[in-house]
Amino acid sequence: MTINQTAPRFKLLLLLMVLLVFSACRTRKNTNVNTTASRAAVVMSHLKSKPLHRFINDWTGVRYRLGGMDKRGIDCSGFAFLLQKNIYGNELPRRSSDQASVIRTKSVGQLKEGDLIFFSFGGRSVDHVGVYLNDNFFVHASTTRGVVVDDLSLPAYQRAMVKAGSIRN
């Protein structure tokens, strides 16, 4: 082969190598997206109480059932009732409105792991309860998603929150 015959092959090989290098360096999709789920996972990993962590993991995904108190279905006040009893040894009334009457009120900035948060989605009276975790996240039995860890700073929760605090001893 002469130099004139190998030059096109060399150029083609060089072009393929350059394309290969650039395709390997292409921009990747950002995998560090700050989603609510990823932030919730971080919050869970920072819980001080390992029994609380296990309890939440064990109940996560259990469907909502009004009046429910077991893995076949649970409502928000039943979940708070069982969590407080099993993790902290606290006795609570069964209904969320009654639970709200036995807490010492705190501001959101004062909340500690295990404190209760009360909401009113249907009017002025308390009709929902969750348990504060940390970093503005709480766990509750959602009517649509079952037991989940949620972000308290979401507008729907901010609008509906009516009271928060710790159980009076």
Q: Which of 25, 46, 53, 128 is catalytic?
A: 128
> How many other C-beta atoms lie within 10 A of the C-beta of residue 158?
11
Apex 63 CA angle, 113 and 67, nearest 5: 85
In the residue annotation, 53 being an active-site residue is answered as: no
76 has catalytic annotation = yes
User: Which is the catalytic residue, given 25, 46, 53, 76?
Assistant: 76
The Cα 35–Cα 77 span in angstroms is 27
Compute the distance between CA of residue 120 and CA of residue 128 in angstroms, rounded to an integer.
Answer: 6
Burial class (CB in 10 A: 0-12, 13-18, 19+), 131: buried
The DSSP call for residue 89 is -
Enzyme catalytic residues = 76, 128, 140
